[in-house]
């Protein structure tokens, strides 16, 4: 949510930003907010003036009574009663206007950074940099589900019976490798100085609407029936919500946190759920990083954070690239975002394994996360980034470490988490 001062002082900037995001249908909201805000301030001023007058006149009653001027005192009391009725009406209208303004402000997109490329959708995202040499071996690399099957490492048929499409059992060495990656991702971020956290896996609706747009919420979140609780789609939701309505001491900044959680997503949209594989599923596990910092430091942290993910995958012998998200591909709360994509030697192209975003003060403004400086209170900036989301990260590892004999080479960084194993071998060909 943007600062309403932007609409008061530079509404054309807000409109131009909406156009850059190809959301012209939202343009009328800016003028509507401007008009509602003008009425809101007029109503509030009138109410404040009446309250001041009421207090002033109320102080006269005692003096009139002491002077035995009871008739005059009764007249003043009637005046005050009239002020009270009018104030109540104004307060009702003030609350109505506040809600109407908030409803519109919640869907006006955040101001994107000037460096964001302009484009309609993810087809116009821009490659920034490649890390590691993408290799295509001279032997065939099977589909990832077939690799897992050769290790007796996946069972989607049973998961279909227990849970439906989009779920899976991981078994044996594949399950162990999956857990090893999560444990390594945790320790990798602890070594960067981040504080490890395991958050709640369910959050209330006021936290959900604080961390994401309504469109994202409808497409992603599972709601718990008859409860004001939602299953999280990423631990960022809980981690930012942890600081709801809090004042953070400046000396504690930046807050750098890395969190583990299972994640649950509807995955509503054109991509659909895979029948055989586990690239797009309803349930997965994730190691996340979250930063709360001073506004002037947020862009520096943004570049540090995506680099951590690059370094993590490179330590697993996985080539990656960064892809700058264009304006039309940014969620409404985001200021700037990039995807980290891993090389798929089977497909001979890159696919997304993580995403890094800075959201400015949008989440903090919605949730009331502030600090106090020399010039008063202000909102912090929030950032989030995927360290590892698996099984998607597991797919990248399997494909890039697949050997001609069907075995999987274990990168050195993972060997301590795999009991010292340097390779795992298939149970069937």
Give one DSSP letter per residue of 193-233, joined into a string: TPEEE---SEE-HHHHHHHS-HHHHHHHPEEPTTSS-EE-S
Q: How does the average pLDDT of the chain come out, rounded?
A: 93
Q: What is the mean pLDDT of residues 176-195?
A: 98
> What is the phi/psi pair of residue 56, to 5°?
-65, -45
CA dihedral sign of residues 338, 261, 216, 265: positive
The pLDDT value recorded for residue 83 is 77
> What is the phi/psi pair of residue 326, to 5°?
-80, 170
pLDDT band, residue 77 (cuts 50/70/90): confident
pLDDT of 144 higher than 90: yes
Q: How many CB atoms lie within 10 A of CB 217?
A: 16
pLDDT of 412 higher than 90: yes
Question: Percentage of the chain surpassing pLDDT 90?
Answer: 83
| CATH number for domain 122-424, candidates 3.60.20.30, 3.30.930.10, 3.40.50.1820, 3.10.20.30 | 3.30.930.10
Q: CB-hemisphere CA count at 13 Å for 275? A: 0
Q: Are 242 and 108 spatial neighbours (Cβ–Cβ below 8 Å)?
A: no
The pLDDT value recorded for residue 333 is 94
The pLDDT value recorded for residue 56 is 74
Give the residue ranges of DSSP H helices in 106-244: 144-150, 156-162, 172-191, 205-211, 214-220, 235-241
The pLDDT value recorded for residue 270 is 47
The pLDDT value recorded for residue 30 is 97
Decide yes or no: CATH 2.60.40.10 for domain 4-105.
no
> What confidence tens digit (pLDDT) does each residue in 297-355 have?
999 999 999 999 999 999 999 999 999 999 999 999 999 999 999 999 999 999 999 99
> What confidence tens digit (pLDDT) does each residue in 220-278 have?
899 999 999 999 999 999 999 999 999 999 999 999 999 999 999 987 654 556 667 89
The pLDDT value recorded for residue 217 is 80
Copy the structure tokens of residue 208.
Answer: 């959900």
The pLDDT value recorded for residue 72 is 78
Q: Where in the chain is the domain with CATH 3.30.930.10?
A: 122-424
Q: Where in the chain is the domain with CATH 1.10.287.40?
A: 4-105
H or E segment at 19?
helix 4-20
Burial of 274 (0-12, 13-18, 19+ CB in 10 A): middle
**Alpha carbon separation from 216 to 54, 166, 220, 342 (Å, rounded):** 47, 19, 6, 24
H or E segment at 128?
strand 126-131
Give the residue ranges of DSSP H helices in 261-391: 298-314, 362-367
> What confidence tens digit (pLDDT) does each residue in 1-27 have?
899 999 999 999 999 999 999 999 999
> What confidence tens digit (pLDDT) does each residue in 357-395 have?
999 999 999 999 999 988 899 999 999 999 999 999 999
């Amino acid at each position: 949510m943007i600062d309403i001062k932007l609409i008061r002082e530079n509404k054309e900037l807000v409109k131009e930003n909406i156009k850059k995001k190809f959301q012209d249908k939202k343009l009328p909201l800016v003028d509507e907010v401007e008009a509602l805000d003008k009425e809101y301030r007029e109503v509030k001023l009138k109410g404040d003036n009446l309250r001041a007058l009421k207090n002033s006149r109320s102080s006269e009653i005692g003096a009139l009574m002491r002077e035995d001027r009871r008739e005059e005192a009764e007249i003043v009391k009637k005046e005050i009663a009239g002020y009270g009725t009018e104030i109540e009406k104004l307060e009702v209208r003030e609350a109505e206007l506040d809600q109407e303004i908030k409803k519109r402000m919640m869907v006006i997109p955040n101001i994107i950074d000037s460096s964001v490329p302009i484009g309609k959708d993810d087809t116009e995202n821009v490659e920034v940099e490649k890390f590691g040499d993408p290799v295509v071996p001279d032997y065939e690399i099977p589909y990832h589900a077939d690799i897992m099957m050769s290790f007796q490492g996946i069972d989607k048929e049973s998961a279909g019976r227990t849970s439906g499409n989009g779920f899976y059992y991981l078994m044996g060495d594949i399950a162990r490798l999956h857990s090893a990656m999560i444990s390594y991702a945790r320790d990798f971020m602890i070594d960067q100085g981040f504080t490890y956290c395991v958050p709640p896996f369910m959050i209330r609706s006021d936290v959900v609407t604080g961390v994401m747009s309504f469109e994202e919420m409808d497409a992603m979140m599972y709601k718990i029936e008859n409860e004001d609780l939602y299953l999280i789609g990423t631990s960022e939701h809980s981690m930012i919500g942890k600081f709801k309505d809090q004042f953070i001491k400046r000396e504690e900044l930046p807050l750098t946190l890395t969190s583990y959680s299972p994640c649950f997503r509807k995955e509503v949209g054109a991509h659909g759920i895979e029948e055989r594989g586990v690239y797009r599923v309803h349930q997965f596990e994730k190691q996340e990083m979250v930063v709360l910092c001073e506004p002037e430091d947020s862009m520096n942290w943004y570049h540090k954070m995506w680099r951590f993910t690059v370094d993590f995958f490179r330590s697993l012998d996985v080539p990656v690239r960064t892809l700058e998200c264009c304006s039309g591909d940014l969620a409404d709360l985001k200021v700037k975002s990039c995807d980290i994509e891993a090389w798929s030697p089977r497909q001979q192209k890159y696919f997304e394994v993580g995403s890094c975003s800075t959201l400015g003060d949008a989440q903090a403004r919605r949730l009331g996360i502030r600090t106090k400086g020399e010039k008063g209170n202000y909102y912090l900036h929030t950032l989030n980034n995927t360290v590892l989301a698996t099984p998607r990260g597991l797919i990248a590892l399997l494909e890039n470490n697949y050997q001609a004999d069907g075995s999987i080479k274990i990168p050195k960084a993972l060997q301590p988490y795999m009991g010292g194993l340097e390779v795992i071998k298939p149970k069937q060909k």
